[in-house]
């Protein structure tokens, strides 16, 4: 079932809500530059295991409104809070992939984990996506600036090049085309401004404020958010568990989908 939630004047967020009668709810936050449809192979299986699966398209992406502004982590976390309140959600597992993981971390810190009982960070773009003087991991600022420039000059090629490093398994051309189309469904403006947020935001202090059971699921072959990120998050989040995916890149939810779905179900219970 699909519907919209208004998060501010003129901005409506698309929500896909599957198996809505279940009381075991997972709220999925997709990564850049895709939308909720990236979790198709979770939505095919987890509801049959008894879970309510809710996927949203963050502002600017998929079927959601595409406003000019509001792409910093604080505003994106605010959107999640409004969705949780509007839907009356309780005792949820918040599951965020890549930038969606980063937004989920900001939500946990900004709202003290409001209504969230468990957190799943999936190839999360955290603690910091770009290198700093005191943080030698991640992409360089120049690499992200190049992605921003390419977004404004040849977004289809940028998305194609990014897709080439996303997965660590054989993909059919049909799947590659499908995944590429997910990125094209976003606005160019949102695609670029979220890159600015990825480049500039810092979640190191946020991680220390997380106080719910947390699973860190991360591909050992991730070329977007290196496995170093997973180890750093694991050390920063008290009581977290680290679940490595030996044969996966950034798209672990597809590279090892059976293991991924099983691990998510085992973590939630």
pLDDT at residue 77, rounded to an integer: 99
Average pLDDT over residues 41-59: 99
pLDDT at residue 38, rounded to an integer: 99
Does the annotation mark 104 as catalytic? no
- Could you give the residue ranges of the DSSP H alpha helices within 111-240? 141-164, 173-184, 188-200, 204-207, 227-236
Does the annotation mark 197 as catalytic? no
pLDDT at residue 169, rounded to an integer: 94
pLDDT at residue 200, rounded to an integer: 99
Locus of tokens 């699966």: 53
Q: Which of these is catalytic: 36, 65, 78, 98? A: 98
Task: Tell me how far CA of residue 197 lies from CA of 35, 59, 102, 193, in angstroms.
Answer: 17, 14, 10, 6
Binning pLDDT at 50, 70 and 90, where does residue 143 land?
Answer: very high
pLDDT at residue 30, rounded to an integer: 99
pLDDT at residue 63, rounded to an integer: 99
List, for residues 173-209, the tens digit of each pLDDT value. 999 999 999 999 999 999 999 999 999 999 999 999 9
Residue 123: closest CA among 92, 97, 144: 97
Residues ≥6 apart with Cβ < 8 Å to 186? 33, 34, 35, 60, 61, 62, 66
CA 140/CA 66 separation, integer angstroms: 28
Average pLDDT over residues 60-69: 99
List, for residues 241-266, the tens digit of each pLDDT value. 999 999 999 999 999 999 999 999 99
CA 57/CA 59 separation, integer angstroms: 6
Q: Which of these is catalytic: 30, 45, 97, 250? A: 250
Question: DSSP label at 171?
Answer: -
Task: Tell me how far CA of residue 45 lies from CA of 42, 167, 232, in angstroms.
Answer: 5, 20, 30
pLDDT at residue 247, rounded to an integer: 98
Average pLDDT, whole number, for the chain? 99
Walk me through the domains of the chain, giving residue ranges and CATH numbers: 2-268 (3.40.50.1820)
Whole-model pTM: value is 0.98
List, for residues 99-141, the tens digit of each pLDDT value. 999 999 999 999 999 999 999 999 999 999 999 999 999 999 9
Percent of the chain residues past pLDDT 70, beyond the cut: 100
List, for residues 156-166, the tens digit of each pLDDT value. 999 999 999 99
CA 243/CA 268 separation, integer angstroms: 14
Does the annotation mark 79 as catalytic? no
Provide the token pair at 247: 């044969």
Q: Which of these is catalytic: 45, 222, 236, 248? A: 222
């Amino acid at each position: 079932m699909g519907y919209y939630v208004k998060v501010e004047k003129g901005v409506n967020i698309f929500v896909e809500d599957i198996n809505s009668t279940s009381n075991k709810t997972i709220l999925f936050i997709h990564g850049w530059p895709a939308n909720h449809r990236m979790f198709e192979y979770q939505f095919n299986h987890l509801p049959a295991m008894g879970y309510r699966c809710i996927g949203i398209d963050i502002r600017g992406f998929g079927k959601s409104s595409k406003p000019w502004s509001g792409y910093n982590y604080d505003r994106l976390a605010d959107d999640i809070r409004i969705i949780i309140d509007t839907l009356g959600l309780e005792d949820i597992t918040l599951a965020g992939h890549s930038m969606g993981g980063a937004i989920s971390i900001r939500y946990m810190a900004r709202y003290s984990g409001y209504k969230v009982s468990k957190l799943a960070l999936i190839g999360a773009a955290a603690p910091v996506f770009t290198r700093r003087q005191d943080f030698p991991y991640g992409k360089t600022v120049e690499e992200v600036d190049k992605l921003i420039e390419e977004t404004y000059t040849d977004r289809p090629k940028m998305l194609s090049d990014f897709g080439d490093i996303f997965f660590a398994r054989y993909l059919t051309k049909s799947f590659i085309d499908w995944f590429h189309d997910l990125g094209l469904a976003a606005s160019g403006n949102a695609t670029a401004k979220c890159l600015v947020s990825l480049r500039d935001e810092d979640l190191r202090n946020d991680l220390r404020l997380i106080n719910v059971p947390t699973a860190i699921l991360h591909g050992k072959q991730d070329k977007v958010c290196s496995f170093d990120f997973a180890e750093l998050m694991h050390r920063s989040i008290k009581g977290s568990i680290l679940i490595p995916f030996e044969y996966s890149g950034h798209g672990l939810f597809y590279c090892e989908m059976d293991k991924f779905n099983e691990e998510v179900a085992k973590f939630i219970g």
